[in-house]
Amino acid sequence: MNIIFVGPKILCEAFKISGVGTLSLESKDDYDVLLDKLTEKKPSLVVYDSSIYKKLDAKQKKLFDSSVSPVFIELSQNGSSNISLKDLVRNAIGIEIK
């Protein structure tokens, strides 16, 4: 399983230490090429910092919200997330687990 973390440089360094691939987003240019870089790396799971979601354009947000492969999971600093694990599973496998 290829896992990529997308977020600020400081958090990327922590994920690198644990062996997870990273994409650091610091400048506007980084956001512009984000989808191209994700396509190159072909991850099965993308974990992203909640602070970057606000800076994404509409096309990127749509991919993050609706993609089945890769699956996108928000890492929230305050413990709340826009989407539940239940919704992620339903999107990934197409059925609801009760």
pTM, rounded to two decimals: 0.72
Give 7-36 pLDDT, tens digit per residue.
888 889 988 998 889 998 888 888 888 888
Compute the distance between CA of residue 6 and CA of residue 75 in angstroms, rounded to an integer: 10
Half-sphere exposure of 17 (CA within 13 A, CB side): 5
For tokens 């305050």, name the residue.
Answer: 78
Superfamily (CATH) of domain 3-93: ATPase, V1 complex, subunit F (3.40.50.10580)
- Average pLDDT of the chain to the nearest whole number: 80
The neighbour count for residue 44, using CB atoms within 10 Å, is: 11
Distances (CA, A) of 29 to 4, 87, 90: 19, 31, 33
What is the residue extent of each domain of the chain?
3-93
